[in-house]
Amino acid sequence: MLPGLDQDTLISVALALALGLLVGVERGWTQREQAAGTRFAGIRTYGLLGLAGGLGGGLQAAYPALSAVLLAATAVLVVMGYWRSTRSQPATAPSISGTASLVGLLTLACGFVAGAGGHALASAATGVMVLVLAMRHQLHDWIRNLEEREVLAIAHFALISLVILPLLPDTPMGPLEAWRPRQIWLVVVMVCGFSFLGYIAAHRLGASKGTMATAAAGSMVSSTAVTAALAGRLRDGSGDAAMLNSAIALASAVMFLRVMTLVGVLAPFALATLLTWTVPAMCVSLVGAWFVGRDQSGAGTAADAALPLRNPFALGPALILAALVMVLSVAARWVLMHYGDAGLATVLALSGMLDVDSAIITMGNLPRGTVDPRLAALILMPPVLLNTLIKAVAAIGLAGWKKAWPSAAVLGASTAVALGALPFLLPAVQ
């Protein structure tokens, strides 16, 4: 056997060939109706490109010069093939997409990575490439339906998440070293991301499902604001009562999901204990939303239009929340130094009653080991459940008992179920 050509190398080259054939299947199916001679490449060509890349990757250790020549020559052939295909096309024929040559080069690269032993990376990259190619029509339709403000929102989100966030330091600084700029800016990224995804979901689903979609999406930022808006529509009779009550219950379920997501990302040490009371409460809200909404009339009238759509890029609220977190982080460090865990628990609980997210983020900014994980989950319980009860009271206060009692009952039941976990939490923190 030649040096460097062992069983592992043969397996790697075989994987490269298989990945090339996978790309070729998608390309061949997409171009199946094109006339012979007008296609840039088919299943055999893409399979051979993957094989060439695999051989280049497998031979690079033992025969680096041969590997480089093989890869360079194959890449040149791909580019020349695309150039000749476009030059030979008559003026009336459809132009050959530049995607074909780029896919050819990517197939060669994925084959090389697989041949060099990077099986997971090569397979993942090829899978993503095939998925993007298969979603051609869906992606084109999505682009055609984008509005100008949505494009601007995408650009702004890319700026804050892909440009600003990586540049910020992740080291403690500021008063009492309470601020980690990257983690604080991550709050801005998450809030803006929730807002934008919610806007897109609600906008694309239209009026028939817009109320439920917008309620769920809006609750990723503020379930209280969503509840108030829905209760106002209940009071005015501008919508199906069962649907609106169901949307209020769904908004509460999404609030519990948002709390779990934020804790999992920013304060993961508290997540396991937090789930003991948030998951049952969320499940009760979801079941209640289905139960209440099952009798909705489903009349697709103009009165059942979705909630008014907000600005898709909610930078203002995100910056306000980040500023609140900065203040609370300093306050929490100071209270911890002077009054210990009891004072910290009081500060976080009180701040959480004003804004649950700020309490979670502040807790995540504390030094590791400052708060016991079980105590942390217990500290977050009062503000979250109080917020749930406040929404139930607000719904009844705005819409009246007769119209809002179904959603208020669901919110009350979810609170009661969450409190049912209290006997299991208290002994754990004593």
Q: What is the pLDDT of residues 144-160, one digit of tens each?
A: 777 777 777 778 888 88
Taking the mean position of all CA atoms in its chain, how far away is CA 255?
16
Instruction: Specify the number of domains making up the chain.
Output: 2
Residue 287 lies in a domain: yes
Residue 2 lies in a domain: no
Boundary residue ending a domain (88, 116, 142): 142
Residue 16 lies in a domain: yes
Asked if residue 254 and residue 374 are part of one domain, the reply reads: yes
Asked if residue 138 and residue 151 are part of one domain, the reply reads: no
Boundary residue ending a domain (82, 117, 142): 142
Which residue from 221, 267, 164, 234 is spatially nearest to 403, judged by alpha carbons?
Answer: 234
Asked if residue 197 and residue 109 are part of one domain, the reply reads: no
Residue 1 lies in a domain: no
Boundary residue ending a domain (142, 159, 183): 142
Beta carbons within 10 angstroms of residue 283's beta carbon: 14
Asked whether the beta carbons of 341 and 374 are under 8 A apart, the reply is: no
Taking the C-alpha atoms of residue 86 and residue 97, their distance in angstroms, rounded to an integer, is: 9
Residue 387 token pair = 């917020």
94 φψ region: left (φ > 0), alpha (ψ -120 to 50), beta (else): beta
Asked if residue 407 and residue 298 are part of one domain, the reply reads: yes
Residue 313 lies in a domain: yes
The structure's pTM equals: 0.55
Taking the C-alpha atoms of residue 293 and residue 79, their distance in angstroms, rounded to an integer, is: 58
Give the per-residue pLDDT at 93. Answer: 47
Asked if residue 220 and residue 271 are part of one domain, the reply reads: yes
Asked if residue 271 and residue 290 are part of one domain, the reply reads: yes
Give the per-residue pLDDT at 95. Answer: 53
Beta carbons within 10 angstroms of residue 177's beta carbon: 13
Packing angle of the helix pair 373-399, 422-429 (nearest 10 deg): 150
Taking the C-alpha atoms of residue 238 and residue 391, their distance in angstroms, rounded to an integer, is: 20
Asked if residue 241 and residue 115 are part of one domain, the reply reads: no
Give the per-residue pLDDT at 413. Answer: 93
Taking the mean position of all CA atoms in its chain, how far away is CA 149?
20
Asked if residue 173 and residue 116 are part of one domain, the reply reads: no
Q: Which residues pair with 179 in a beta bridge?
A: 173
Asked if residue 154 and residue 130 are part of one domain, the reply reads: no
Give the per-residue pLDDT at 284. Answer: 93
Residue 101 lies in a domain: yes
Residue 95's domain comprises 7-142
Residue 91 lies in a domain: yes
Enclosing H/E stretch for 354 = helix 315-354
Give the per-residue pLDDT at 300. Answer: 44
Give the per-residue pLDDT at 240. Answer: 77
Asked whether the beta carbons of 216 and 375 are under 8 A apart, the reply is: no
301 φψ region: left (φ > 0), alpha (ψ -120 to 50), beta (else): beta
Which residue from 258, 243, 369, 354 is spatially nearest to 304, judged by alpha carbons?
Answer: 243
Q: Which residues pair with 173 in a beta bridge?
A: 179
Residue 404 lies in a domain: yes
Taking the C-alpha atoms of residue 254 and residue 216, their distance in angstroms, rounded to an integer, is: 6
Q: Flag residues of the chain having pLDDT under 70.
A: 1-5, 31-41, 82-98, 178, 191, 194-195, 197-211, 214, 217-218, 220-222, 225, 238-239, 295-314, 316-318, 321, 324-325, 332, 336-337, 339-356, 358, 365-370, 425-430
Asked if residue 335 and residue 360 are part of one domain, the reply reads: yes
Asked whether the beta carbons of 14 and 53 are under 8 A apart, the reply is: no
Give the per-residue pLDDT at 302. Answer: 43
3-state helix, strand, coil in the chain (%, to 5): 80, 0, 20
Collapsed DSSP state (helix, strand, coil) of residue 197: helix
Collapsed DSSP state (helix, strand, coil) of residue 173: strand
Asked if residue 69 and residue 184 are part of one domain, the reply reads: no
Asked if residue 330 and residue 233 are part of one domain, the reply reads: yes
